[in-house]
Amino acid sequence: MAQRKTAAVILAAGKGTRMKSALPKVMHPLAGRPMIKHLLAAVDAAKLDRAVIVIGPEMDSVAEAVAPVSSAVQRDRLGTGHAVLCAKDALAGFAGDVLVLYGDTPLLTPETLGRVMQARSDGAAVVVLGFEPVDPAAYGRLVLDSQGGLDAIVEYKDATPQQRAIRLCNSGVMAADARLLFDLLSKVRNDNSKGEYYLTDVVALARGKGLPCAVVRAPEEELLGVNSRGEQAVAEAVIQTRLRHRAMDNGATLIDPSSVFFSVDTELGQDVTIGPNVVFGPGVTVADGVEIRAFCHIEGAKIGRGAIVGPFARLRPGAVLQNDVHIGNFVEVKATLVESGAKANHLTYLGDARVGAGANVGAGTITCNYDGFLKSLTDIGAGAFIGSNSALVAPVKIGDGAIIGAGSVITEDVPADALAAARGEMRVVPGWAKPYRERKKAEKAARKKRS
């Protein structure tokens, strides 16, 4: 028997007024990725065949972010049932099951989605995802029948004291056959205090037809809804905990796991050691055997095998460190290729540059890459030695094996194996310092006396 097709309808039209932001709620990031994309990643990993995002009329940024996933617009916000109906045209001709999800619940796992769809395959006409929160508060309660099937969803305000004592709560996530779901939704009424069409009414309509309904349980953590900055912080903590465990399970050592922050796309090799207070922005790949010392910030960078980074280093987008590179304290690297075995151990800026294999860049060196209008390349050859406190004014090329004297300002190309020193001639005036100090002390005393 062929497996049924599955589609997700993700409700994301909420304004998110409690976020107090011009950014649509579902676009707020968690671990470097908008929360709506976390949910889409789970949908993809669960191997659902397609998805439709229901958005508000002013949410073009969401439609652009989720493309090529289809979007449907809910022009009037008339409740969850109405929102699902807004996806009907986008699913015209679709024969299979529909899974209704919420764009502000980004922590659902593919495994949980798979269990919901399996319950649907096992014969339940409608499947609802439930959970047992520490504080059930005002959640709708899931009332089960004597066989453990779902008998009803009762809103908290309508529940009896006995029903309010039920700890199994409604998450809002629901699965049903597409044709049945849209048929039942067409019969939902809005004769309630809010004048809205509730998705939860589908269960009562299905039970009225004698159709079996089921509940699948999930951990409370997965069903956290993000409606405020505080809840966003809680969700971020959950995702970071997951990412830290993933990193350690895959062979990385985190000296102080709670102080390390990952992006969801961070890729770590085996035997990577990460010190305290390290932050990974999006787009970071780290090879085997790398050591990243404390207080580093890394984004959009690739780090080769055996490299050492930090402490207090910053790798910006376009930084590529090949094998066995050393980037030390207070070194910033941006849009630069640092070839195998090269070193910049302290107090250096490398931007729009190439540092050849085995080169040594001394403390205080900067590549002067920007003239106020354009950025230009600095090319440092293999085995070159750049003396401390040097300024390399791009565009400029330092040949293989060349030596730059400390304190130089280099504005022209330097041939291979040459010595270049560009600084003012040193002048020594014997005995000058002592009378200078005496004169200044007298001047200071006179000022103090006048005041």
- Residue ending a domain, among 199, 223, 247, is 223
Distance between CA 105 and CA 236 in Å, rounded?
12
The domain in which residue 64 lies consists of 6-223
Examine the domain organization and report whether 314 and 203 are in the same domain: no
Place of tokens 């409690």: 18
Q: What is the pLDDT along the chain (451 residues), one digit of tens a residue?
A: 357 899 999 999 988 899 999 999 999 999 999 999 999 999 999 999 999 999 999 899 999 999 999 999 999 999 999 999 999 999 999 999 999 999 999 999 999 999 999 999 999 999 999 999 999 988 999 999 999 999 999 988 889 999 999 999 999 999 999 999 999 999 999 888 788 999 999 999 999 999 999 999 999 999 999 999 999 999 999 999 999 999 999 999 999 999 999 999 999 999 999 999 999 999 999 999 999 999 999 999 999 999 999 999 999 999 999 999 999 999 999 999 999 999 999 999 999 999 999 999 999 999 999 999 999 999 999 999 999 999 999 999 999 999 999 999 999 999 999 999 998 888 999 999 999 999 999 999 999 998 8
Considering the domain boundaries, does residue 257 fall inside one?
A: yes
DSSP-derived secondary structure for 157-172: GG--HHHHT---EEEE
Q: Strand, helix or coil at 126?
A: strand
Strand partners, 343: 326, 360
Is the same domain home to 243 and 192?
Answer: no
What CATH code is carried by the domain that includes residue 70? 3.90.550.10
Please check whether residue 443 lies inside any domain of the structure: no
Same domain membership, residue 319 and residue 204: no
Strand 169-177, strand 126-131: pairing = antiparallel
Which DSSP state fits 13? -
Judged on CB neighbours under 10 Å (0-12, 13-18, 19+), 12 is: buried
In a domain, 216, yes or no: yes
Instruction: Note whether 63 and 188 are same-domain residues.
Output: yes
Question: Are residues 210 and 258 both part of a single domain?
Answer: no
Instruction: Give the pLDDT score at 400.
Output: 98
Count Cβ atoms below 10 Å from residue 228 Cβ, excluding itself: 15
3-state secondary structure 385-399: EECCCCEEECCEEEC
Rounded Cα distance between 302 and 295, Å, is 18
Residue 432 included in any domain = no
**Alpha-carbon distance values, 75 to 21, 54, 63, 72, 79 (Å):** 20, 10, 14, 9, 11
Our measurement of the distance from residue 290's CA atom to the centroid of its chain's CA atoms, rounded to an integer in Å, reads: 22
Res 184: pLDDT: 96
Report the alpha-carbon distance of residue 128 to residue 115 in Å, rounded: 11
Q: What is the pLDDT at residue 128?
A: 98
Q: What is the 3-state secondary structure (H, E, C) of 259-327?
A: HCECCCCCEECCCCEECCCCEECCCCEECCCCEECCCCEECCCEECCCCEECCCCEECCCCEECCCCEE
Do 303 and 403 have their domain in common?
yes
Backbone phi, then psi, for 166, in 5-degree steps?
-70, 135
Indicate whether 396 and 258 sit together in one domain: yes
pLDDT at 301: 98
Antiparallel, parallel or unpaired: β 343-355 and 326-338: parallel
pLDDT confidence of residue 260:
98
Given the residues 38, 82, 326, 346, the one annotated as active site: 346
Whether 168 is covered by a domain: the verdict is yes
| Same domain flag for 275 and 193 | no
Our answer to whether residue 346 is catalytic in this structure is yes
Say if 430 falls within a structural domain.
no
Q: Of 223, 258, 273, which marks where a domain is finished?
A: 223
- pLDDT value of position 1: 39
- Give yes or no for a contact between 315 and 295, defined as CB atoms under 8 angstroms apart: no
Which CATH number is 351's domain given? 2.160.10.10
- Number of structural domains found in the chain: 2
pLDDT at 142: 96
Q: How many CB atoms lie within 10 A of CB 155?
A: 16
| Contact call for residues 62 and 24 (beta carbons, < 8 A) | yes
Domain boundary residue, one of 192, 223, 254: 223
User: What 3-state class would DSSP assign to 18?
Assistant: helix
Residue 450 lies in a domain: no
